[in-house]
Amino acid sequence: MTSHSGTNPRPPFLRRFGAFFFRHPNLSLIALLILPLLWLGVFYIGSLAALLTQSFFRLDGFTGRIVRQFGLQTYQKQLFTPANLDVIGRTVLMAAVVTIASALIAFPLAYYMARYARKRIHALLYLAILLPLWSSYIVRVYTWKIILSQEGPLTWLLNLCGLGGVLQAILNIPGVGGSSLSFSMLGTFIVFVYIWIPYMILPINAALERVPKSVIEASSDLGAPPGYTFRHVILPLAWPGVVAGSIFTFSLTLGDYIIPGVVGNSTFFIGQVVFVQQGTAGNIPLAAAFTVVPIVIMAIYLLIARQQGAFDAL
């Protein structure tokens, strides 16, 4: 009697394994995402939850130890003081000014790249924008400290052009200037804009490249002047890209502590306070409470950005 086992062999293990997931697509999706979700849940959300939990503890002023009892004393007695509110306001103001300046600088360049630049020029500009990101962040910050120093090339160039008096007048403005650009709020602002502006240019350029040329040509054919076309056609269509870029510049400025520490005076920002409180002072509950501030601000900012269609431009 002839056996039929050779004509109908069982599929190998991997084939049966693949067939099982093919019949159960939901399980296939879970198997694909389980490792990234575990990483996100344990190392990101878990550490963030642990940090937020610390903000509800308090530091005993007598013993210097953390009292692990839930309460709002850290927020009421330490976070919401005039000095700390001044730090929060200063940080938010700097983040807003850096974001606005970056958008004003980035938009013309992104518009030229999207509408007028030839392919070779477009590629060179892309390379010029991305090239600084390939170098060390610390190296770039310290390079700008040298450029902005009193003996640096920028001061030398301004003196050579006869603008040394103008620079000194700006440095004499309270709250803006300092002994030199490398020890002033203005210098901090300049470095912030330089470091984060690539994150503004790229989303705006992507949004502008998606604006159909036929729409612009139709506006021109209907007799609309260039200014009207820009305000009512180009800018509304590119606005999600501007908001998407602002998410990066605003949030990165909000949490940065290296630039204000290297370039700038002794004025503190949120990131510096967190660094000092969890390090030198050892007041981890206050440091954790300070980290809640940018989280809340960015949560509100992201909700507004979502309504502006920014996530579609990312």
Mean pLDDT, the chain cut into blocks of 10 residues (314 residues total): 50 67 72 82 83 85 78 85 90 95 94 89 91 89 91 88 86 82 90 94 91 84 84 88 92 91 85 83 84 90 81 64
Asked if residue 307 is part of any domain, the answer here is: yes
Provide the domain count of the chain.
1
161 domain residue, yes or no: no
Q: Is residue 270 part of a domain?
A: yes
**Measured distance CA(213)–CA(218) in Å, rounded:** 9
- Give a yes or no: residue 49 inside a domain: no
Confidence (pLDDT) at 14:
65
**CA–CA gap between residue 141 and residue 258 (Å, rounded):** 8
Please report, for residues 145, 151, 192, 305, the alpha-carbon distance to residue 155 in angstroms, rounded to integers and kept in the order given: 12, 7, 19, 39
pLDDT of residue 33: 80
DSSP 8-class letter at 233: I
The SS3 call for residue 243 is: helix
CA distance 21 to 25: 6
Structure tokens at 204: 């705006």
Residue at 228 is within a domain: yes
Would 146 be classed as within a structural domain? Answer: no
Q: From CA 27, how far away is CA 8, in angstroms rounded?
A: 28
Structure tokens at 141: 């910050």
Q: 273: domain range?
A: 74-131+184-313
Residue 289's CATH number = 1.10.3720.10
Tell me the C-alpha distance between 96 and 102, whole Å: 10
The confidence score (pLDDT) of residue 1 equals: 46
The predicted structure's pLDDT at residue 219: 84
Residue 106 included in any domain: yes
121: in domain: yes
For position 200, what pLDDT does the model report? Answer: 94
Helix (H) or strand (E) holding 253: helix 235-255
